[in-house]
């Protein structure tokens, strides 16, 4: 990999998350920066929840150009921002921040590129979302983005299955006021199995399957569910072949893996910061070298 040339004029971008050191975002964004000859560097910052506001104000004060936000801070960061674009405000989840500075004030503006990452990944894989019934596992920031993306693309029914029903109910309250009858909570595995035959798209928005000791050998769905002819969309990207993805391929599902979403949302973030949509070309092949 080409060496970075860092000077006192080099700009700084970063990723906030807990955990975040596993992330491939630095590989992507630093490549984009080099390809576009921009004097900046992208790093990860990992800290516990109680330090979020302190870290955010520090980034703002120290002159960072922008931030990406990952779990579990995509919702929590919203209250610290000066403004959000319409999509981020409607989704209630932010994954990209741009710091706009003048001599008097630094404005922190929030955006959500996960939504484009989801829809673009599914469409580029050759699948439609319109009128499709969708299952979303999880109820955090990624799930919020998925609900918004599927509503925006006029999906059919949207089902939410989460380990904690209260979080799923809160997600329903956020979105269902204007979409009455489209969003449903599945409270148990029995509920899920009853609805299963009606599902077209399954979207995992949990960290289950991630390359972490407690996650990597687990599945967000019951092992006995057959994924034949379902569209399985995985947001976990390391490993690329999660337990869910392996099962989906084995059983004849149509798979959209997590690297596709990571690349698409990262490119949209870069455009927000610099006004340029970067070339993604062979980026997926590059990233595969960093995954297990």
The helix or strand, by DSSP H or E, that contains position 142, with its residue range, turns out to be helix 141-152
Of 135, 91, 87, give the one whose Cα is nearest residue 233: 135
Cβ 83 vs Cβ 100: under 8 Å: no
The rounded distance, in Å, linking the Cα atoms of 249 and 227 is: 9
Is the CA virtual torsion 30, 34, 35, 36 positive or negative? positive
Distance set, CA 104 to CA 57, 81, 107, 220 (Å): 16, 17, 10, 48
Known catalytic residues are 74
Residue 99 in 3-state DSSP? strand
Question: What's the 3-state SS for 237-291?
Answer: CCCCCCHHHHHHHHCCCEEECHHHHHHHHHHHHHHHHHCCCCCCCCHHHHHHCCC
Contact by Cβ (8 Å): 283, 29 = no
C-beta separation of 248 from 209 below 8 A: no
Query: What is the 8-class DSSP label of residue 36?
Result: T
* Torsions phi, psi for 249 (to 5 deg): -65, -45
| Three-class secondary structure of residue 121 per DSSP | helix
């Amino acid at each position: 990999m080409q060496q970075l040339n860092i000077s006192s004029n080099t700009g700084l971008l970063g990723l906030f998350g807990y955990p975040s050191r596993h992330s491939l975002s630095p590989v992507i964004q630093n490549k984009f920066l080099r390809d576009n000859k921009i004097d900046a560097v992208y790093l990860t910052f990992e800290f516990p929840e109680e330090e979020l506001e302190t870290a955010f104000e520090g980034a703002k004060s120290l002159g960072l150009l922008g931030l990406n936000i990952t779990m579990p801070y995509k919702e929590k960061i919203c209250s610290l921002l000066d403004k959000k674009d319409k999509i981020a405000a409607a989704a209630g989840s932010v994954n990209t921040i741009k710091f706009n500075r003048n001599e008097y004030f630094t404005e922190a503006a929030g955006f959500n590129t996960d939504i484009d990452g989801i829809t673009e990944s599914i469409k580029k894989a050759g699948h439609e979302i319109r009128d499709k019934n969708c299952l979303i596992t999880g109820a955090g920031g990624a799930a919020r983005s998925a609900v918004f993306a599927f509503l925006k693309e006029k999906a059919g029914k949207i089902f939410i299955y989460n380990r904690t029903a209260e979080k799923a109910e809160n997600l329903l309250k956020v979105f269902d006021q204007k979409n009455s009858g489209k969003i449903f909570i599945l409270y148990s595995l029995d509920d899920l199995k009853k609805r299963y035959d009606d599902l077209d798209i399954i979207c995992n928005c949990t960290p289950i399957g991630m390359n972490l000791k407690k996650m990597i050998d687990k599945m967000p769905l019951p092992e006995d569910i057959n994924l034949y002819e379902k569209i399985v969309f995985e947001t976990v990207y390391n490993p690329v072949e999660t337990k869910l993805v392996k099962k989906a391929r084995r059983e004849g599902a149509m798979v959209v893996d997590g690297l596709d979403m990571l690349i698409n949302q990262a490119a949209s973030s870069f455009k927000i910061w610099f006004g340029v949509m970067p070339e993604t070309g062979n980026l997926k092949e590059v990233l595969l070298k960093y995954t297990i």
